[in-house]
Structure 1
Amino acid sequence: MTSVIKYMSLLTTFSVFAALISIVWQAFLSLKQLNKVTTILTGLLALESSFKKPPQPYKVAVGYGACTDLLVHATEFLNYSEKVINAIGPEFTVNEVDNMNELLQTFAYYFQNGAAAERIMPNKKLFRELIQTAKLRHRDSIQWFLGGNAPLMSTRFHIEGADVLLGARMSHKLRRLVPAEIKIAGDQIAEDDIHLILEYKAGDTWGPIKTPRANRYILHSDRNNPHMNSVEHFDKVLHSFRPRLLVISGLQMMDSYKFEPYVRERRLEKIQQQINSQAFATLIHFEMASYVEIKLLFLLRQYVMPYVDSIGMNEQELENLRQTLTYGRTTLATDWNPRVASTLDQMRSVFKNLAESYYKNATKLPRRRLLSRIHVHTLAYQALLTVRDSKWKRTKLAAAKAALTAHRHVCQTDMINPEAASLILDESFATSAEDKLNGSRIKLNPQQPVPCWNETIAVFDQKAVPIEICVSPVLVCRIAKKTAGAGDNISAAALSQQL
C-alpha cells in the first residue's frame, strides 16, 4: 500500500512538473514569436517611413460608381438550414442569387472555404426584405459605411496625399462621407444603391461549419452602378484633370446583370475609349473583383485588360483570371492561404499570357499597353511583380505599405500592436512550384522583411522580359473588425508609393 502511495505521489509530481515545463515552453515560444513579429513590424515601418512625398501631390482619377455598405454579422443574420446545405452537390455553382435557398447555399460554400464572394440578387423584393430585416432585427449591431471600390480607393489615395478625382453618382447624404477635398465627377441622385455585407470572423461557426479565416460575403441588387452612368460625367472632367494614374474599378457590377443586347459591350467600349484617350504618361490600373460570369470576363479581356499597365487582385481573383486566360473557364473558391510559390506561378502565367498578346497585336492595336505590374494581396503576404525599368517605382516599399495597410484596415487602427498580430507566412518559401530547376528558396529575414529578386519571363517570339518580384509578410490582425474594403485600401496604398 505504501509503495502504491509513493508511486501515485511520484506520478503526481511528475505530472505537475511536466505541466510546468509545458507552460514555460509555450511562454518561451510565444515570447519568441512576439519578438519576431516586433522585429518584422520595425522593418516594415522603416521602409514606410523612407517614402518622401513629392513636392506636388500626384493626381489620381478613380472610376466608377458608389454605394452604401450595410454591414451585419453573417452567422447572426442567416439561419442555418441543414436541409438546404445538404443539397449542395459537387458541381455546385450559382452565378446569381434569386431566393433564400441559393443565398444559404452560396454563403455556406464560401464560408467553409473562408473565401470572399460577391453576388447579385435579381429578386429586388427579397433584397429589400433582407435590408429591412437587418435594419429592424439587428439595428443595435449593424453598421453603415461609404461603399464601392472607387470611393474607398479614392479615400485611401487622399489619405496618402494624392489629389483625387472620383467618377461616381451619389446622394447628398453619401457625399458627406467622402472627404471634401476629393473632386467628384457625377451628378447627385436621390437614393444610393445598398450593398449588404455579411462579415464573419476567423473561427466563427454556422451550424457544423467552421470558417478558417475572417472574410465577407457581399450581396447587391443595384439600379445605378451596373450601367456605369458616371462614365460620361467622368469624361467631361478627366481630360482637363490630366491624372498621373487612372484607376478602373467597379466593373463587377455588370456581372450577371440582365442587359439589353450589346448594351454592356457598348458601355465597355466607352470605358476602353476613355482609357485610350489618356496620354501614355498616364498609368492605368485595373482593380479586379469577384467575377463569376465567364462572358463578362471575356469582354474584360477584350476591352480592358490589353490597355492597362497594372492589375490588382486577391488570391481567388488571381486564380479566376488565370483560369479565364488559360482555359476559358472560371473557378469558385480557392485555397484561402495559398503557398507563395503557387501564387507566384499564377502571377507569371497571367503576365506571360497578357504580354504575349501584347507583342502579337501591338502593331494592329497601337493603343495597347504592356502589362508592367501585378499586385496580389492575400491574408498572409503581399506579392508584387513589376517590369524592371518601367514607370513603376519602389516595389519593395509598396509591398511593405500594402502589408501595413492590411493590418491597419482589418484591425481598424493606425497604431499596430505586435500582440494583436500573428504571422502566418512560413519562415521560408520557394519562388516556384512549377519550375524547381530555376526556382530557389528564400528564408524570411525579420530584420529585412521584404525580400526582392530579379527574373526574366520568356514571352512571344523568345522575347525575355526582365521583372522584379517582392514579397512582404502580413502581420495578420488577430481579431478582425472589418474585412470589407480591405482589398481596395491595400491596392490604393501600394499604388500611392509607386507613382
Structure 2
Amino acid sequence: MWMKAVLVALLAFALGYLYHTNPMLQNQTLHLITQSIPQSLFSSQHEPNSANLEETISRAWDALITAPTRQWGRIAVGVNACIDVVVSGVNLLQALALDPGYGHDHDVLHSKEDLKETFIHYMERGAAAERFFSDKEVFQRIARAAAEFPGSQVYVGGNAALMGQKLASYPELEVLLCGPVGPKLHELLDDHIVVPPQSLQETDEFHLILEYKAGERWASSQAPQANRFILSHDVSNGEMSTLETFLDSLDEFQPRLVVLSGLHMMEGMGRALWENRIKEFAVAIADVRNEAPIHLELASMTDREYMSIITKEQVLPMVNSIGLNEQELLFLSQAGGGPHSDLHSWSGIPDVGRVSDILLWILEQHGQADPDSEAHLTRIHFHTLAYHVLVTVDGHWRNQRSTVAAGARVASSQACGLQAVDVSKVELKAPLSFYSSFTEPKESLVLDPSNPVTVWQRRNVSFHLSPVLICKQPLRTVGLGDAISAEGLVYSEIVSQLHLD
C-alpha cells in the first residue's frame, strides 16, 4: 500500500514541476505517465474493483445518465432519407479497375478518377466526407457494382431517417418521418415511425457508403482510423423536394421537437437552386420555431459560400440547436473567418482548446450568447471520434451531463454493433488532460474516469465534455453522428417549454 502512496506522490511532484517550468508539456507528460503506471492507481480511490479506465468510465456513465424531467413526446424529423449501400471502399474501387494513386479532394465528383482521388484523400486522414456525383449514368453503374459486390449490405440511410430510427427505439416517443421514402426504405423503417402518404415515392434514392478499417492499406495509402466516404446522385434529397410536405404534416402531428437535416444535399445541385431554396427554408423554419424548438443536423460540405449563406441567411440563428462533427466545425469556422480558420485540417484528435474556441465563437456570432442578439441558437452538440462536447448558453437547457454522456455511450456501443458497451472491445483515446481554450487565458482540466463529464465555463456558456470509448473493430461507422445527436436529444430538456403544456 505504501508503494502506491510513494508512486502517487512522485507523480504529483513531477507534474507540478513540469507545469511550472513548461506548461505546454503538461498534456503530453500526463498522458505518457498515466499509460506507463498501473491503471489501478487512477481508479482505486473511486472504483477499487475496476480493471481499467474503460470499465471505470462505462460504469460511471450508467450511474450518471438519467432521463430528463420532461420528455419530448412527439418528434417530427425531416427531410432527407434514402437507402445506404455499404461496401468496402478499397475493394469496390479495385473492382472498378481503378489503380491506387495520390489523394486529391474534389468538391463535386465528375468521374471514377475523381472518386478514387477524393476517397484516398480522406482515407489517409481517417476523416468522414460526403460528395455529390454529377454524372447520373456513371453513378448508376457504380451503384450496381456496389449492390452486387460480395459482402455489401443495405440499410436505412439519410440523416433524417437514421435519426428517426434511433428516436423510434424509445417507445414513449411518437416519431414522424418525412422524406423521399421509396418501397425498400419503407420496408426497412421501424414500424412505429409515421410516414405521411405524400412523401412516399415509387423508387428509392441510393447512397453508396465506402467504408475502410483502421490500418487498412491501399498501396502506399493507409487509414489511421476507421471511417467512411459517401457518394450519391440524389435529386429528390438534393432539391429538398419533401420540405413542403413535411411542413404541411406538422399542423396535424403537433410535434414538441422538430429535427431537420439535408441542407448539405443541396450543395451539389448548383447555386441557382440552392440560393432560392435556402431562403424558402429560412422562411419555413421561422414559422415552425414559433410552435416547437428546432434541432438542425449538419453534414459534410465543401462550398464556403454555401455555408456562409446558411449562417447569414438566418438559418443557423433561427434554430435552437445544431449537431456537427470536427470536419463540419472547422469548415464552418473557415467559411466565416472564425477562430483557427487558418488550419487546413485537423491533425489527429482535434485539440479540445481549439474546438472550444470555435464552439464559443459560433454561439457568440450566430447564437444567443450575446444577450442582445435576436438569434435563437443556444445549444451545440459536437462529436468527434475520441470525445464529445455539449455547449449550451446558460439558462436555456438542462440535463447536460446526461446528454453528453448518453451520446458518448451510444457511440461506443453502436460502433461495435452492440446494445451496451463491452469494455473488452473498446479503448480510451481521449486526452487525459487538456485546456479550456487555445488562445484565451486557459484553464487546465483533467479527465476523471470515475466522473467522466468534465465541465467548464466561458463567460455565459457552459461546456460539458465526455470521452468516447472507441470500438477497436467497428462493424459500421455510417450513421454514428446521427445516433449520437438523436440520443443526446432524447436526454435533453429545454428550459423554455411553455408550448409543451
TM-score by length of 1: 0.84
Q: 1:82 to 1:271 in 2, by over 3 A?
A: closer
Q: Measure the CA separation in 1 of the matches of 2:109 and 2:450.
A: 48
What residue number does 1:388 align with?
394
Displacement of 1:241: 2.3
1:262-277 alignment, distance < 5 Å: 263-277=273-287
Q: For 2:190, which of 173, 179, 188 is the aligned residue?
A: 179
Q: Measure the CA separation in 1 of the matches of 2:328 and 2:68.
A: 32
The answer to whether the 8 Å contact 2:72/2:173 transfers is yes
What residue number does 1:319 align with?
330
Q: Measure the CA separation in 2 of the matches of 1:377 and 1:292.
A: 19
Q: Is residue 402 of structure 2 the alignment partner of residue 397 of structure 1? A: yes
What residue number does 1:7 align with?
none
Q: Measure the CA separation in 1 of the matches of 2:381 and 2:295.
A: 10
- Kindly provide the amino acid, as one letter, of the partner of residue 446 in structure 1: P
Q: Measure the CA separation in 2 of the matches of 1:180 and 1:270.
A: 32
The answer to whether the 8 Å contact 2:87/2:209 transfers is yes
**Per-residue displacement from partner, 1:386-430 (whole Å, max 9, x unpaired)?**
01111x221111010010011122111012111101000122111
The answer to whether the 8 Å contact 2:130/2:231 transfers is yes
Query: Rg larger in 1 or in 2?
Result: 1
The answer to whether the 8 Å contact 1:118/1:290 transfers is yes
Give secondary structure in 2 for the equivalent of 1:65: coil
Give secondary structure in 2 for the equivalent of 1:389: coil
Displacement of 1:319: 0.4
Q: 1:173 to 1:266 in 2, by over 3 A?
A: same
Displacement of 1:440: 1.1
Q: Is residue 476 of structure 2 the alignment partner of residue 470 of structure 1? A: no
**Per-residue displacement from partner, 1:93-129 (whole Å, max 9, x unpaired)?**
4111111211111111101011101001111111111
Q: Is residue 63 of structure 2 the alignment partner of residue 46 of structure 1? A: yes
Q: 1:45 to 1:285 in 2, by over 3 A?
A: same
The size of the alignment, in residue pairs, is: 447
Q: For 1:305, which of 310, 316, 319 is the aligned residue?
A: 316
What residue number does 2:376 align with?
370
1:45-444 alignment, distance < 5 Å: 45-48=62-65, 50-51=66-67, 54=70, 58-79=73-94, 85-86=101-102, 92-136=104-148, 138=149, 140-160=150-170, 161-185=172-196, 186-258=198-270, 261=272, 263-280=273-290, 282-301=292-311, 302-326=313-337, 333-355=345-367, 362=374, 369-390=375-396, 392-435=397-440, 437=441, 439-444=442-447
Displacement of 1:326: 1.8
Displacement of 1:313: 0.4
The answer to whether the 8 Å contact 2:433/2:447 transfers is yes
Q: For 1:498, which of 492, 495, 498 is the aligned residue?
A: 492
Q: Measure the CA separation in 1 of the matches of 2:117 and 2:345.
A: 13
The answer to whether the 8 Å contact 2:85/2:152 transfers is yes
Contiguous gaps of at least 5 residues in structure 2: 1-34, 42-49, 494-501
**Per-residue displacement from partner, 1:232-263 (whole Å, max 9, x unpaired)?**
1112121232222111201111012136x3x3
Q: Measure the CA separation in 2 of the matches of 1:430 and 1:258.
A: 41
Q: 1:179 to 1:283 in 2, by over 3 A?
A: same
Displacement of 1:85: 2.6
**Per-residue displacement from partner, 1:428-466 (whole Å, max 9, x unpaired)?**
11111112x3x211111111111213331xxxxxxxxx1
Q: Measure the CA separation in 2 of the matches of 1:416 and 1:472.
A: 15
**Per-residue displacement from partner, 1:53-85 (whole Å, max 9, x unpaired)?**
75x652211111211000001121123999873
- Kindly provide the amino acid, as one letter, of the partner of residue 152 in structure 2: I
Give secondary structure in 1 for the equivalent of 2:210: strand
Q: Measure the CA separation in 1 of the matches of 2:357 and 2:332.
A: 13
- Kindly provide the amino acid, as one letter, of the partner of residue 408 in structure 1: S
Contiguous gaps of at least 5 residues in structure 1: 1-25, 363-368, 457-465
- Kindly provide the amino acid, as one letter, of the partner of residue 288 in structure 1: L
Q: Is residue 451 of structure 2 the alignment partner of residue 448 of structure 1? A: yes
What residue number does 2:9 align with?
none
- Kindly provide the amino acid, as one letter, of the partner of residue 36 in structure 1: L
Q: 1:324 to 1:279 in 2, by over 3 A?
A: closer
TM-score by length of 2: 0.83
